[in-house]
Amino acid sequence: MEILNRHRWQVTTAQAKEIQLKLAPEVSRVCNITTPRFVAGVDISVNRWTKTGTGAVVVLSYPTLEIVEIKTVTDRIGFPYVPGLLSFREAPLLLTAFKNITLVPDLVLVDGQGIAHPQRMGIASHLGLWLGIQTIGCAKSRLCGEHDSPGNEAGSYAQLQDNGEVIGAVLRTKSGVKPLYVSIGHMIDLPLAVHYIMACCRGYRLPEPTRLAHLAAGGNLKLKNNTILVESK
């Protein structure tokens, strides 16, 4: 698929923050597409010994959530781990994987923050601007903001707020387990983001697209001759 080239990635941490501030106003917080036909999940695994990472994109049909394509890319990680600057560490790998897919998704679920970020420019928003695709941030932990506890039942959620601004939802995707932090990535609103995350859940804490992307990034999920191979370690 075609990727928009918004800026270079080999930058200092100060330059990275400047890029975030410049791009943040371009994020769309409204939905302007119809129900997706294909949804993708993305994740990355990092080998701290070799300083390499593997980025994975798993494309599924929607709403059946059947895997139709898996792409992984492995390369050296060129940016240090800095909280709030995850995009500059992980996005280049993921964008390379997107370049190699043949079936362009309508919606991308990202294991990370969208606008629930100090600069309102987490990796889900950053990827959305490069891809020109509707994206949702679905993180396992909070980066900023305050919230009440959501109800204990699946589908319950509480607002995540930062200085009075609603920046996300703390969503219980499975009864009795820790909630996820859902936020607008790009070209979507928060109620729809919550809706799609729940619609993509199949009994696990993580929605299927990012759960499967996590497996693929770790080398534990492959698609061979239209057969899904899941390896356990």
162 or 35, greater pLDDT = 162
The answer to whether the beta carbons of residues 43 and 34 sit under 8 Å apart is no
> Taking 60 as the threshold, does the pLDDT of residue 137 lie above it?
yes
Task: Provide the pairing of β-strand 165-171 with 221-224.
Answer: unpaired
> Taking 80 as the threshold, does the pLDDT of residue 69 lie above it?
yes
Percent of the chain scored above 90 by pLDDT?
A: 86
Per-residue pLDDT, 231? 55
User: How many residues in the chain?
Assistant: 233
| SS3 category, 42 | strand
Percent of the chain scored above 70 by pLDDT?
A: 95
Copy the structure tokens of residue 12: 């200092």
> Taking 80 as the threshold, does the pLDDT of residue 222 lie above it?
no
Q: What phi and psi, each to the nearest 5 degrees, are found at residue 183? A: -150, 160
Distance, CA of 229 to CA of 84 (rounded, Å): 34
Q: Could you give the count of Cα atoms lying within 13 Å of 103 in the half-sphere of its Cβ? A: 18
Give the model's confidence band at 32: pLDDT under 50 very low, under 70 low, under 90 confident, else very high: confident
Contacts of 200 (CB under 8 A, 6+ apart): 39, 62, 65, 109, 207, 208, 209
Per-residue pLDDT, 2? 84
- The pTM of the whole model exceeds 0.95: no
Give the model's confidence band at 227: pLDDT under 50 very low, under 70 low, under 90 confident, else very high: very low
Give the model's confidence band at 223: pLDDT under 50 very low, under 70 low, under 90 confident, else very high: low
> Taking 70 as the threshold, does the pLDDT of residue 187 lie above it?
yes
Domains observed in the chain? 14-219 (3.30.2170.10)
The answer to whether the beta carbons of residues 37 and 62 sit under 8 Å apart is yes
Residue given tokens 């606008």 in the structure block: 115
Give the model's confidence band at 1: pLDDT under 50 very low, under 70 low, under 90 confident, else very high: confident
The answer to whether the beta carbons of residues 136 and 142 sit under 8 Å apart is no
Give the model's confidence band at 4: pLDDT under 50 very low, under 70 low, under 90 confident, else very high: confident
